[in-house]
Chains A and B, each alone.
Chain A
């Protein structure tokens, strides 16, 4: 069929706009008279503002106003009003609310001027006097003051323990106890966060916001500023990357809205790159792992304990220690999650939140265990392969991890590996091979979609979701086109507009399964209506026919058994005198059915590194990533998502670290010169394969979502490869040159 598109490697439907500069991102919309706002950030981590002098800035011609806590009107009173769809428990940060400083780089003023350059200059003239209080920002120094990591939050599952870890550990023949650490990371999408609030003549607000959920932004503005939702439209047609950073409304949205409402003018606020380090990060964790195993390699006891950071005002929760029972057939699993309140901004979901760091530690420790047992790391994983989720005591809705291990190992050539560390040496170059498993939740969220089929044969589908580079526009188009049997060119997908039907924030790899399914269903409703109308045509062969009797393809309804009996959509619309058919659909996940299963995506990652023993340079030279992501809707865009995930894993293993200077309680690597991310020169050969098994429990389309799974396991595989190359076990990320060097080169 010429209109079968699900599972085919279509080019992105928004590709042309993106390569010509026509795709407009948030900061790029303009109307005459638009004002520019620049944010001033605090220089201390904790204390209060004694005095804030704005006079020098205000004297400049063209500076319109400076907003501080002193002249910000009292807004919503309840903390609840500041909550959003992605809020953790606690009291959300309120920008410009009081003189209190709760974290370093907290926004303390907004300078609004007629030009960007002037606003930037004026912002340097704001003088802030602080009363400094003693801050605490170190996780390691405050482990004895932790609180339980529990509470209610979307996507968070409180970790459970099963069996009796202590007993099983005590009696185990082989024991391992290790501790892992990694630094903080910041999302750093290439597009910096920005919001434009157009103040319309009727007082309505048209807002362009960098967001993964236009409805979340609308909700926030409405609640905080007491403006009716009907008067607010939030748009976000293109998002220049987000990776979780735009799940919550960030403070530039507050700032732009405040200024627009106060000045009754349109205002744009774009953060600077350093300010991209001021509103949430992947939290630092210290993880303690214990394994008990039989000498033959049966894992009998696992304890995974994580200490992580949160802010003083919110309790950030993520799934760090929830994974061991999903990967290993072990009856005694202890999972402990503790938080330490620090004077930092609340951590923020960052691609595979919790999993990326938890699995790094778990899968590195498993590698250590394999050496202790003298068993090949792949064999150890297969020996302890679990057919069900031990933690949840549920079967998996689908799982091809075993096959991922097999196919990945074959592609990589794992069987040729000499397990002995330092065994693959060429001159100064030490080669190492390592591997890891990965797992991530496969989620489906409620979603609405609408569709409009017109007499000219075009179809528009829409949902208030986002495309952050994930390919949402493209898969929505493919699904709609195939379901109704239309060419891609006749379908257009709409998203990123709060006027569209409800979709949850675009995160957690859930959009394809959620919005994708809603699009499929709404198109089925259009199809049903078309069939019904076809049945009403004179001498119609489709009288009384059901969807199961026919095929929708090539803009026609055809008899399933005799395709020569068919009717073109245009004939139906003409004969029935229809201008358009409009339908809506509300997808409510079948929780009853879904809750019977553990639903997850999986990965098997194999890595090769080369380490220069004298210089300590580490180069990842080869990655094979085998992915269980259910049915792949578009192999081209899915491949790109996994590719991106792998690059993130390399970056996490070797480069990324937002370094905190605890003297000031301030992240000091707050730009792209000092915060390193992987660049083109860091790239190895990356070989990606999908081991598909449609999962109709997760979604009727069979898709499980591939946004995060590409990242999971990559850092551990690299870490394990570095051990294999050097014989040195490194238990902190990023892996630094000095850690990988010969012992003799390390002084102190």
Chain B
């Protein structure tokens, strides 16, 4: 019996997940999205909106690859359900450049070779911008601590730190 045949059986359970409408501004574009209540922001971005710049590295808030900016703050998008954030403004790596002009942090990632495989990079970039917004990092040690939620398995940390230092200097001037 194939599954479609099975579904014709009277005992087949009806199963559905509640959907709700949320209004999200993603990379400056306001969207009304109908989303199942069990969908994370990460899966909404990657699987439903096909904005795949935001990465899935663990789906459990342990690696930081999914970091996006929500209302200017960095969050792990895998740990947040989309329905909880009606009205939020989300910026992903796709929303940082202005036309062809890269965000200075993006430029600096290239210049300092602050990545190898590039998979953690969107999260590192969003985390860098979030860190600057927070205004807490004063020392090299602060930077290292506050960037430790973003794992880079290629080990580009020391180059990433150079980018963060530059970004902090820019924000001060």
Contacts and interface: CB of A to CB of B under 8 A. Distances in A.
A19 B60 contact: no
Given A63-B3, A643-B159, A683-B161, A190 B152 contact: yes
A21 B153 contact: no
B154 A241 contact: yes
Interface in B50-77: 50-60, 62-63, 65
The main secondary structure of chain B at its interface with chain A is loop
B117 A58 contact: no
B55 A191 contact: yes
Interface in A619-673: 636-637, 639-641, 643-648, 651, 671-673
A673 B62 CA distance: 6
A22 B119 CA distance: 11
A501 interface: no
Contact of B93 (A21, A243, A272, A471): A21
A680 B97 contact: no
A190 B62 contact: no
A685 B159 CA distance: 11
Given A117-B38, A191-B119, A673-B62, A644 B113 contact: no
Quick one: which of A17, A59, A641 has the most chain B CB within 10 A? A59
A11 interface: yes
A677 B151 contact: yes
A563 interface: no
Central interface residue in A19, A30, A61, A646, by most chain B CB within 10 Å: A19
Contacts of B110: 11-12, 15-16, 19
Most A CB atoms within 10 A — which of B52, B122, B154?
B154
Contacts of A17: 118
Interface string B108-152: 011101011111111001000000000000000001110110111
Given A273-B58, A644-B155, A672-B58, A680 B46 contact: no
Interface in A151-173: none
Interface string B1-19: 0110011000111111100
Interface string A15-48: 1111111111101101000001000000000000
B94 interface: yes
B39 interface: yes
B157 A470 contact: no
Contact of B161 (A12, A121, A644, A680): A680
Contacts of A59: 6-7, 11-13, 15
A28 B46 contact: yes
Given A117-B38, A192-B56, A18 B158 contact: no
B166 to A, nearest CB: 14
A424 interface: no
Contact of B15 (A61, A636, A646, A678): A61
A63 B63 CA distance: 30
B118 A22 contact: no
Given A59-B13, A60-B15, A677-B153, A14 B148 contact: no
Contact of A19 (B125, B143, B161): B125
A11 B113 contact: yes
Interface in B14-36: 14-17, 36
B146 to A, nearest CB: 8
Given A239-B117, A240-B55, A673-B62, A19 B158 contact: no
B105 to A, nearest CB: 8
Nearest to B147: A680
A643 B162 CA distance: 14
Could you say which interface size class chain B belongs to? 35 or more
B116 A641 contact: yes
Contacts of A15: 109-110, 113, 115
A683 B15 contact: no
B60 A61 contact: no
Contact of A672 (B54, B60, B119): B60
Given A640-B154, A686-B158, A21 B116 contact: no
A675 B59 CA distance: 15
A680 B55 contact: no
Contacts of B155: 643-648, 651, 678
Given A19-B106, A28-B46, A672-B58, A469 B148 contact: no
Given A19-B110, A19-B125, A681-B145, A189 B117 contact: yes
Contacts, number: 199
Given A189-B117, A683-B161, A672 B151 contact: yes
A58 B118 contact: no
A58 B147 CA distance: 43
B18 to A, nearest CB: 12
- For this complex, into which size category does the number of interface residues on chain A fall? 35 or more
Contact of A20 (B2, B43, B106, B158): B106
Given A19-B125, A20-B106, A644 B154 contact: yes
B3 A21 contact: no
Contact of B47 (A116, A243, A651): A116
Contacts of B120: 190
A241 B109 contact: no
Contacts of A679: 148, 151, 157
B144 A18 contact: no
Contacts of B96: 20
Contact of B117 (A21, A22, A188, A191): A191
A672 B39 CA distance: 22
B117 A190 contact: yes
A468 B156 CA distance: 14
Nearest to B120: A190
B102 interface: yes
Interface in A223-243: 238-243
A506 B55 CA distance: 24
Contacts of A190: 55, 57, 63, 65, 117, 119-120, 151-154
A374 interface: no
Contact of B118 (A238, A678, A681): A238
B160 to A, nearest CB: 7
A19 B153 contact: no
Contact of A188 (B36, B148, B153): B153
Contacts of A243: 153
B108 to A, nearest CB: 9
Contacts of A645: 155
B3 A19 contact: no
A22 B121 CA distance: 12
A22 B154 contact: no
B56 A241 contact: no
A651 B150 CA distance: 15
A64 interface: yes
B59 A273 contact: yes
B144 A680 contact: yes
A243 B16 CA distance: 41
A712 B94 CA distance: 38
B14 to A, nearest CB: 7
B144 A636 contact: no
A21 B122 contact: yes
Interface string A504-525: 0000000000000000000000
B41 to A, nearest CB: 13
A60 B16 CA distance: 8
A28 B60 contact: no
19 contacts: A17-B118, A25-B52, A27-B52, A28-B46, A30-B50, A117-B43, A189-B117, A191-B117, A192-B57, A243-B153, A273-B63, A640-B113, A640-B154, A643-B158, A645-B155, A672-B62, A679-B151, A680-B144, A683-B161
Given A116-B43, A190-B152, A190-B153, 17 more contacts: A15-B115, A19-B102, A19-B106, A19-B125, A63-B3, A116-B47, A121-B38, A189-B153, A190-B151, A190-B154, A192-B56, A273-B62, A469-B154, A672-B151, A677-B153, A681-B144, A685-B158
The 4 closest A-B pairs by CB, nearest first: A21-B53, A647-B155, A240-B119, A469-B117
Interface of A: 11-12, 14-25, 27-28, 30, 36, 58-65, 115-118, 121, 188-192, 238-243, 270, 272-273, 468-471, 636-637, 639-641, 643-648, 651, 671-673, 677-681, 683, 685-686
